Chain A
Amino acid sequence: MTIEAQRDQQDDPKETLAYIRRTMESASTFTAISGWGLVASGLVGMVAAWLAWSGGVAADLRIWIPAATVSVVIATIANVLKARGIRVPIWSGVMQRIVWVMTPTLVAGALLTFAINNQGASQLLPGTWLALYGAGLTAGGTLSIRAIRWMGIAFLVLGAAALFLPNLGLAMLATGFGGLHIAVGLDIVWRHGG
């Protein structure tokens, strides 16, 4: 963009007002992620890990698919409630970008789950889930508070450990989907109010 073009853009009041609006929206939704929602998702993760351990199958899809669904529903409700509480639009430009950034990795995760399961290599599922969820969080976290990005990187590390040491798969799932969600959720509650 030339200097002249930049000046024209900056001197356009409509564009300037849109920039102010976008920036205010980004600042408002930046901390609108619900810490309590993450804590609740973590508790669901802990219960799922315990059920999987009791059943003796680490990546039991009959446990983990319902657990993931329940977690998504809880997180969505908690985020809507927090956004309403601090009076910010829930479906803002920032939220749309976060969803668009995260969705491809989550869809890839779903496809790989069925492909890997069909090939009978279910010992690779915990690492695949953790790594892809971590990739999505790390990318989506660039639009939100740093804790989300760090959580994404931690999930990637757990995923790598689970892929190379499949025997630790269930422990990594419990640490990630249970422990990390609870720890980061409490941190957000403490630092960003709820």
Chain B
Amino acid sequence: MFGDMAGSPAPEDLDRLVHERMRLGIVSALAAQDRLSFADLKAILQTTDGNLSVHARKLENAGYIRVQKGFEDRKPKTEYSLTAKGRKALETYLDQMESLLTEAREALEKK
């Protein structure tokens, strides 16, 4: 679908790190809440420990999210937050999605 319209971002132009659905969910949730624990993020995205860990690590390695490990009531607690780079990546991705919609609407009006 992305390649159908002239001027719209081609699939290869999209940030694949953010485009993947689970990673998009992590970045979106952290854009709305400054900090979220691993358990809260898992509940919001309704996913498994393993799936969340894998995708969160990819975002962390890319510098999109920050991970803070600590203790609460003597139990280990992992908290995530969005970095400036991650916020910028989400904004760019949103712009691309919006331009796709605008072009689809314009193409529809021309017909």
Contact = CB atoms under 8 A, between A and B. Distances in A.
Interface of A: 8, 10-14, 16-17, 19-20, 23-28, 30-31, 142-143, 145-146
Contacts of A143: 43
Nearest to A142: B43
A91 B43 CA distance: 20
Contacts, number: 62
A27 B36 contact: yes
Contact of B24 (A16, A31, A145): A16
A186 B100 CA distance: 47
A78 B16 CA distance: 41
A23 B44 contact: yes
B39 interface: yes
Interface of B: 1-2, 11, 19, 21, 24-25, 28-33, 36, 39-40, 43-45, 94, 97-98, 100-101, 104
A30 B40 contact: yes
Contacts of A12: 1
A31 B39 CA distance: 13
A17 B104 CA distance: 14
A90 to B, nearest CB: 15
Nearest to B14: A11
Contact of B28 (A10, A14, A23, A142): A23
